[in-house]
Amino acid sequence: MSNQNNSIHEFEFKLICEYFSQVERQGPGSPEVTKLAASFIDNLNPKSKIADIGCGTGGQTMVLAQSLPGDITAIDLFPEFIELFNKNAIRNKLDHRVKGITGSMDNLPFEEEELDLIWSEGAIYNIGFEKGLNDWRKYLKKGGYIAVSEASWFTPERPDEIDRFWVNAYSQIDTIPNKVSQMQGAGYVPVATFIIPENCWTEHFFIPQIEAQKSFLAKYSGNKVAENLIHYLKIEAELYDKYKDYYGYVFYIGKRI
Ligand code: SAH
């Protein structure tokens, strides 16, 4: 039974990977937002060590490498994403500074106080915001930075429908002041916090998926897993359009004390 479940999950993961391999970003974001967040990081030099955790195929990593000095080790759970990532680094002539490796964010291959900067766009939810901030802190040098984007509520209250959707999808979604307080509690100075603009969801995330969904459904017509995935993603996009005043992604930048 459990073997069967594993293989069903493996099949789902493979399909999800294949679907998201077709688009440049696997989460909401944009080059402008990556650059803006990077502008808060000081004290880096060509010898600095940076980690990009949950890097996907590397859309944001290439922008980061063009914005900041130092070497970047990027990590993702899915080997398929890392393969595309490393091709992407070569295409951008960044492979001497940017390297993708397969691994998990709950077991990172770094030494204590090795890193100058930890980056993670739209991925820390996989370990949980608070746990990620606490667990990853030891890898940072004193005075090193962490910059993560995370789903957050914009208002203290919101309509039931969207509250239920998110509590089910990611129960640790919380308000911005609560997230900032968690960052402070984990041993960082909260340096900057900003809401990423709507075009990071529309232009850079949902719109590129429209074509991807058509070709994916054509390839996997009649496949329930594929159809359910696309159905879920469509609901996600519709809910965003309906409730975008109440939630979004927020960049949180902190400096290790
Ligand atoms: N940073 C990218 C991808 C965000 S999507 C972007 O902004 O476009 C979240 C990523 O986290 C996916 O690529 C997923 O494969 C990765 N991921 C999920 N669980 C992970 C884990 N335990 N360790 C490392 N990466 C993980």
pLDDT at 8 over 80: no
Average pLDDT, the chain: 95
pLDDT at 11 over 80: no
Pull the structure tokens for residue 77. Answer: 């759970």
pLDDT at position 6: 59
Percent over 90 (pLDDT), the chain = 94
pLDDT at position 12: 87
pLDDT at position 13: 86
pLDDT at 1 over 50: no
Minimal CA–CA distance to 210: which of 182, 185, 233, 241? Answer: 233
Residue range 125-148: mean pLDDT, rounded: 98
Alpha-carbon distance of 210 to 87, in angstroms, equals 24
**Residues 152-191 pLDDT 10s:** 999 999 999 999 999 999 999 999 999 999 999 999 999 9
pLDDT at 4 over 60: no
**pTM for this one?**
0.95
Residue range 129-145: mean pLDDT, rounded: 98
pLDDT at position 9: 78
**Residues 56-112 pLDDT 10s:** 999 999 999 999 999 999 999 999 999 999 999 999 999 999 999 999 999 999 999
pLDDT at 3 over 60: no
Percent over 70 (pLDDT), the chain = 97
User: Measured from the CB, is residue 209 less than 6 Å from ligand 1?
Assistant: no
Residue range 226-232: mean pLDDT, rounded: 94
pLDDT at 5 over 60: no
Pull the structure tokens for residue 50. Answer: 């940076």
Q: What confidence category does residue 10 fall into, taking pLDDT thresholds of 50, 70 and 90?
A: confident
Q: What is the atom index within ligand 1 of the atom nearest the CA of 17?
A: 15
User: Measured from the CB, is residue 58 less than 6 Å from ligand 1?
Assistant: no
User: Measured from the CB, is residue 123 less than 6 Å from ligand 1?
Assistant: yes
Instruction: Give all domains of the chain, ordered by start, each with its CATH number.
Output: 27-197+245-256 (3.40.50.150)
Residue range 212-233: mean pLDDT, rounded: 94
User: Measured from the CB, is residue 204 less than 6 Å from ligand 1?
Assistant: no
pLDDT at position 2: 43
Indicate which residue's Cα is closest to atom 23 of ligand 1.
104
User: Measured from the CB, is residue 59 less than 6 Å from ligand 1?
Assistant: yes
Q: What is the atom index within ligand 1 of the atom nearest the CA of 24?
A: 8
pLDDT at 14 over 70: yes
